Structure 1
């Protein structure tokens, strides 16, 4: 997917998404995290009725089966989406957790405890099921047993939605959707809606389909030959994503995922261990623990200010964490590292801005639905994102200096 930047520095990246049932839960880092209650309370305060933590928590509990925290009153055990906290952490992760707690960050045992303080170091829950397999959303909510008995459910794989079928009028009316077989442009179909059409194709494809349907900013749509039904400049605008910057260090080979590439016999042993009991390196997620906090609580010397109890209350929108440092026992992105014989391993601090203020956009480059859109992620175009990112990186360097 082509990516531009509206910042002063231009670059292009290839963005990877999950093109399968279950979407990106097929390929993501497995992290199961609800965010803090203050996020949802902020939505309610902004006018989004029934989106407070009090309203959404029952649905989190209903949807999950927490294998590690089932006795917690805030967690569910009867839902389809299984998750657990993997206990086998690399020694480098355990070391950094110890350093973070000595620094003054409270250590939690449950990342999704709504009553926990907003400044925390915690092992991360992962969407791994009882058999120690990835529990993607299709496995959880669209299992074969359900699909086989639902007579009114049809799943069309290998197709793309080219546009909505819109009947002009006031108001506009959506009568169905147009789809095509992705590998054969001549096989086109119309799906008629008897009740409603729910468009939920993700942060990029949802505005993309709306734009192809003629709902979006009038001028650029006309320029590429798309008939405009509704001039809505907001479609495709104000796109946001989290920015993460990796800081990487060498590590002992046996203390990182690279051991699977550097020691073939170890790789075979780990494979057998996973096949036999679902344990070992292959049964873990990559991001095993993290530190989250509000960057305003760090001074210029990367020291924590003394905190009043009210500043740790997770229900308050004013306390929402804005930075995260994740611990990964692997070298994250260094291509030069990838070409070196694996005589040593890697460790990464993944420094993330949790509440970005920068905006980008999703724009069409052609009237052909098979052409990828121009996805401008707008990274760091708002200076308000730069200070939190700098503080997250300084925090990571401080942790590394004490290893």
Structure 2
């Protein structure tokens, strides 16, 4: 028996397990469906593109596929997710972004008491160990290491200079008082290594006797009796095992895993459960609904000079030298996430706040690093995504087998405003990319193959090329309405001792990369659990 059973050792669940087990008198079992995540490739910041590859030998990645996206020419999208302790913090781009203050104030306005920006900021600071030191916005004594991005690629400086010529401001801190503008991101890295949740929260406490971490443990169901979780059943090493629950179950399987686990346990929409022969334990129609992600699109350019990163013959020789430099000195481009330059801008003058984000990659890269013919060239990519999409999809079960992947429909660009915002963001970005001094480094554009002049051309390109930004959220949303799954204390509505803590609880996605927010959710969830236990 464990006091607390945490399902999922990712960016939120790993934090919850670490914080709850700080009390030596509290027992915690952490069940992770993936492996231990000890591969050396996980720790190398520059290996992001390798970790997301869609190969069967890639055991660190769930390698999901979405349903055909009706507004994207019926394309099915590849969707990598971390299959290891640390979850997707072990394979993401490591950009440390919290979103804007209004994102959290909006959560609070929706009836989620305790989730305004001023109320969540202390948890961001609590988690953070920023190399710049502490101030009103940042912490310097938490477990999560945050470091400055490497500015050395000349594409970065040219991009920032092109933006400056168009009067876009430079921003030193995208998580401070004013995030609007262009600049260099910070990342969750330390001394040339990825600072994942496993690295920062779990590795230092592996010897805690009150923390039992089980990997390759696929949860079958939460066992419910009279609205209360009494045990969790899971498959491991060919056997079905069971851990009894003393106090609570915390579901932290992510935006895809958490609703699947709830439904397999009989918690969710009645029609969906009965369709798969699952006994309804607790009807909750919002489970799996409200799925959304940032839609993004990529500009790809070939450069005049052989600078940046390439997988061609000369680039491969340089990369071999880079591996030697990395393993001997922890220096070079492999020691740093190669998405350092970017920012937040407004897609049109009438917007109240910056509403789209940019990431620059010094490699011709698109379609989740599957376009190998682009990557053998020299050049760069600019990724554009809108921050507050209105389109909503859903997640449903394929069957009642816990080993089956769920049906994932992101429904990208379904809302007409998303297409409009993407189009306007595209126009703003295109103007920057085709302006001096950045344009002087470009040999030719690859995607799109020329400057697009009309809305119709841009819309056709977007439907053919838009993808997701690896930021799925919302499938167990927090709130008070009929489709809410959890309340402001993250308790599943109508159940005595089951909570959800991960990206799935976000009622609306934040404007920015979601990993820092998932870590904050884990920190705040652990505090609320402790408070409720002491009450």
TM-score > 0.5 by shorter chain? yes
> In structure 2, do the counterparts of structure 1 residues 151 and 319 end up closer, same or farther at CA, with 3 Å as the change threshold?
farther
- Structure 1 residue 134 and structure 2 residue 194: aligned? yes
State the shift of 1:265 in Å: 3.8
Which secondary structure state, in structure 1, belongs to the residue aligned with residue 360 of structure 2? strand
CA contact (8 A) 1:199 1:206 kept: yes
- Structure 1 residue 173 and structure 2 residue 235: aligned? no
| Aligned mates of 2:289, 2:96 — CA distance in 1 | 28
Q: How well do the aligned residues superpose, as a CA RMSD in angstroms?
A: 2.1
| Aligned mates of 2:152, 2:275 — CA distance in 1 | 54
- The gaps in structure 1 that reach 5 residues or longer are 299-317
Which secondary structure state, in structure 1, belongs to the residue aligned with residue 214 of structure 2? coil
- Structure 1 residue 380 and structure 2 residue 432: aligned? no
1:317-358: per-residue Cα shift (whole Å, max 9, x none)?
Answer: x8443211221111222689513793x412111010111111
| Aligned mates of 2:430, 2:417 — CA distance in 1 | 21
- Structure 1 residue 83 and structure 2 residue 146: aligned? yes
> In structure 2, do the counterparts of structure 1 residues 278 and 72 end up closer, same or farther at CA, with 3 Å as the change threshold?
farther
- Structure 1 residue 27 and structure 2 residue 91: aligned? yes
Which secondary structure state, in structure 1, belongs to the residue aligned with residue 193 of structure 2? coil
| Aligned mates of 2:316, 2:400 — CA distance in 1 | 49
State the shift of 1:262 in Å: 2.9
> In structure 2, do the counterparts of structure 1 residues 276 and 188 end up closer, same or farther at CA, with 3 Å as the change threshold?
same
Which secondary structure state, in structure 2, belongs to the residue aligned with residue 209 of structure 1? helix
State the shift of 1:75 in Å: 1.3
- Structure 1 residue 160 and structure 2 residue 193: aligned? no
| Aligned mates of 1:285, 1:340 — CA distance in 2 | 20
> In structure 2, do the counterparts of structure 1 residues 47 and 180 end up closer, same or farther at CA, with 3 Å as the change threshold?
same
State the shift of 1:27 in Å: 0.7
| Aligned mates of 2:296, 2:314 — CA distance in 1 | 27
State the shift of 1:272 in Å: 2.8
| Aligned mates of 2:85, 2:433 — CA distance in 1 | 39
| Aligned mates of 1:213, 1:5 — CA distance in 2 | 27
Which secondary structure state, in structure 2, belongs to the residue aligned with residue 24 of structure 1? helix
State the shift of 1:164 in Å: 0.7
Mapping of residues 37-116 of structure 1, within 5 Å? 37-67=101-131, 69-70=132-133, 72-113=135-176, 115-116=177-178
State the shift of 1:261 in Å: 5.4
- The gaps in structure 2 that reach 5 residues or longer are 1-63, 440-535
Q: Which residue of 1 aligns with 2:242?
A: 190
1:224-278: per-residue Cα shift (whole Å, max 9, x none)?
Answer: 1111122222110110111111111112463221167533442233223223332
> In structure 2, do the counterparts of structure 1 residues 74 and 92 end up closer, same or farther at CA, with 3 Å as the change threshold?
same
Q: Which residue of 1 aligns with 2:270?
A: 218
| Aligned mates of 2:125, 2:68 — CA distance in 1 | 39
| Aligned mates of 2:421, 2:411 — CA distance in 1 | 16
Aligned partner of 1:229 among 268, 281, 286? 281
Q: Which residue of 2 aligns with 1:7?
A: 70
CA contact (8 A) 1:5 1:377 kept: no
| Aligned mates of 1:210, 1:190 — CA distance in 2 | 17
- Structure 1 residue 400 and structure 2 residue 455: aligned? no
Moved more, 25-34 or 83-92: 83-92
Q: Which residue of 1 aligns with 2:183?
A: 122
CA contact (8 A) 2:151 2:340 kept: no
| Aligned mates of 1:191, 1:74 — CA distance in 2 | 40
> In structure 2, do the counterparts of structure 1 residues 261 and 21 end up closer, same or farther at CA, with 3 Å as the change threshold?
farther
Moved more, 223-232 or 233-242: 223-232
Task: Normalising by structure 2, report the TM-score.
Answer: 0.66
Q: Which residue of 2 aligns with 1:366?
A: 399
CA contact (8 A) 1:88 1:280 kept: no
> In structure 2, do the counterparts of structure 1 residues 336 and 361 end up closer, same or farther at CA, with 3 Å as the change threshold?
closer
| Aligned mates of 1:259, 1:229 — CA distance in 2 | 53
Which secondary structure state, in structure 1, belongs to the residue aligned with residue 218 of structure 2? strand
| Aligned mates of 1:98, 1:269 — CA distance in 2 | 30
Q: Which residue of 2 aligns with 1:339?
A: 373
CA contact (8 A) 2:359 2:384 kept: yes
Question: Which of structures 1 and 2 has the larger relative contact order (alpha carbons within 8 angstroms, sep 6+)?
Answer: 2
- Structure 1 residue 287 and structure 2 residue 342: aligned? no
